[in-house]
Amino acid sequence: MSLALLLAVSCSTAVFAQSEEAPSAANTMSIAGQGEFWVVPEMAEFSGSVVTKGDTLAEARDAHPAIAQQVRAAVDGLAQSGLRLETAQYSIREIDLCGGGFRVLRDGEECTEKPYFVATTKFDMSTANLAGLESIISTLAEGDLLVENIHFTVKNKRIPLLEARKDAARDALEQATAYAEALGVDLVDISNVTDGDASPPDYGEADLAIPTTRDGRIPLSIAIPAQLEYNASVRVNWTIGRPAS
C-alpha cells in the first residue's frame, strides 16, 4: 500500500470515529404549571327522562308516545321563557334481573324476578335564563318528566379554558424563574411545551329539593354557583446555562 493511500484511509477512519461520538446533552429544567380561571355561569344544561314500564314490550312501548308527547308540549311551551330543546332520544330495553348468564341468590333461593321492559325518551335541554331557572324546572317537574343532571356552564367554553392555559404558562414561568435565581443559572430558551389537561368545572350540579306543597305544586331550590372554575396544566422544558462571567 502506498503512503498516500495509507494516509487517506487513516483520515477517513478518524472522521468516521468522530461522527459516531454522541453530542453532549444540554442542561434542561422541566416545570409543570397549573392554572385556573374563574367565570360567572351563563347557562344551565340539564336532562330529563320520560319512562314507561310494562311486563311486555308492547305494554311499555304503546303507552309511551302519549306521555312523551305531553312532556314535549310542555318543553316547547317554555321556549318563550328561554328553554331550548337540544336533543330528544328514544330507547326501549328489556330489564332482566336474573339474566346475564347467572342467577341472583336471595335468602338461599334462586332469583324469581320476571323480566320487564322500559321505554325511555331522554330530553337534553339548556337555558340562559338563570333567573327563571327554578320556575322552568318546577313546571317541568310537575309533569311526567324526571329532571336530572343540572349543570352550569358558559356559552363559549373555549374562552375560559384558554385563559386557564395562559395562567398555567405564567405559573410555569414563575416557578422556573424562582429555581433559576436560587440555583444561579439562566433560562436560555424553551425547548419543549406539552399541553396538559384543560377541563371545565366538574361540579356545579344543582341542589334539588322537591317538597310537595298543599296546592300540589313542586317548588325547587336550585343553588346556582356564583362562579365556575376552569383548570389547565402545562409542562415546559427550558434549556439552562451558567451566567456569562
Mean pLDDT of successive 10-residue segments in the chain (245 residues)?
A: 42 40 66 96 94 95 95 95 96 82 58 86 96 92 86 93 96 97 94 87 53 49 89 96 82
- What local confidence, expressed as pLDDT, does residue 220 receive? 64
CA nearest 196: which of 144, 240, 157, 235? 235
Tally of CB atoms within 10 A around 15 = 8
> Which of 27, 64, 76 has its CA nearest to residue 191?
27
Does the pTM surpass 0.85? The reply is no
Per-residue confidence (pLDDT) for residue 209, from 0 to 100: 42
Q: What is the pLDDT of residue 89?
A: 96
pLDDT at 37: 96
**Residue 229 CB burial class (10 angstroms; 0-12, 13-18, ≥19):** middle
SS3 of 32-54: EEEEEEEECCCEEEEEEEEEEEE
Report the alpha-carbon distance of residue 228 to residue 160 in Å, rounded: 10
Rounded distance, CA 207 to CA 228, Å? 15
